[in-house]
């Protein structure tokens, strides 16, 4: 039961994280939001996954690192067109950007495929330090989250309903992976 509650919690938490704590007093602070998720993840790892307390703290810390790194400009999944100078600087800071620029022809930079792969890299590489505590399927999480952002951008149906917001589903995806793998 705690696994399911954690999954739902992570969906709500990620939604609040993406929407500045829903404007709630104190909770709008990012540090407070990270502490809340850190405590929930630590509790899940300790009480449900039966890991030693120090591994629980390690996993919970790294999950906060995973969320703290911005998804940056590739969030639009190719719908933003060629970036201006400010946005280009944000792209250039992303892990994998230079590699993708070498792989993709220049006319496909900032396209759906380019941004999708960049998002998948962004949501996968921070999980490497904790992946050994989970099933190898855990490393597919980056593809799942990138897929969710892509669906949200290209399927207008998802933007119509509040409960289909991509932030909720991205959080629930992480919650499912951490809980059940």
How large is the average pLDDT for residues 112-124?
95
Q: Where are the domains of the chain?
A: 2-180
- pLDDT of 20: 79
Band of residue 107 on the pLDDT scale cut at 50, 70, 90:
very high
Per residue in 140-174, pLDDT (tens digit) is 999 999 999 999 989 888 888 888 899 999 999 99
**Mean pLDDT calculated for residue range 95-123:** 95
pLDDT digits (tens, 9 = 90+) for 9-22: 999 999 998 787 88
- Which residues, at least 6 apart from 71, have a Cβ–Cβ distance to it below 8 Å? 119, 122, 123, 149
pLDDT tens digits for 32-43?
999 999 999 999
Answer yes or no: is pLDDT of 57 > 90.
Answer: yes
Work out the mean pLDDT of the chain and round it to a whole number: 92
Q: Which of 37-41, 65-69, 103-107, 137-141 has the lowest mean pLDDT?
A: 65-69
Q: Is the pLDDT of residue 77 over 90?
A: no
* C-alpha span between 132 and 162 (Å, rounded): 35
Q: Please choose, from the candidates 142, 138, 7, 133, the residue with its C-alpha nearest in 3D space to the C-alpha of residue 67.
A: 142
Can you read off the two tokens belonging to residue 44? 């899940």
pLDDT of residue 163: 86
How far is Cα 165 from Cα 81, in angstroms, rounded to an integer?
A: 23
């Amino acid at each position: 039961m705690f696994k399911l509650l954690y999954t739902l919690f992570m969906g709500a938490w990620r939604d609040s994280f993406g929407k500045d704590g829903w404007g709630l007093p104190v909770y709008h602070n990012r540090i407070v939001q990270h502490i809340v998720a850190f405590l929930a993840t630590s509790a899940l790892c300790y009480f449900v996954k039966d890991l030693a307390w120090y591994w629980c703290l390690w996993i919970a810390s790294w999950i906060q690192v995973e969320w703290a790194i911005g998804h940056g400009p590739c969030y639009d999944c190719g719908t933003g067109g060629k970036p201006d100078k400010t946005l280009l600087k944000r792209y250039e800071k992303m892990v994998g950007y230079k590699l993708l620029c070498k792989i993709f022809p220049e006319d496909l930079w900032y396209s759906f495929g380019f941004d999708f792969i960049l998002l998948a890299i962004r949501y996968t590489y921070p999980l490497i330090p904790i992946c050994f505590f989970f099933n190898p399927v855990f490393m597919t999480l980056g593809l799942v989250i990138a897929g969710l952002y892509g669906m949200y951008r290209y399927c207008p149906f998802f933007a119509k309903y509040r409960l289909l917001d991509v932030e909720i589903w991205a959080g629930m995806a992480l919650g499912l992976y951490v809980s059940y793998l």
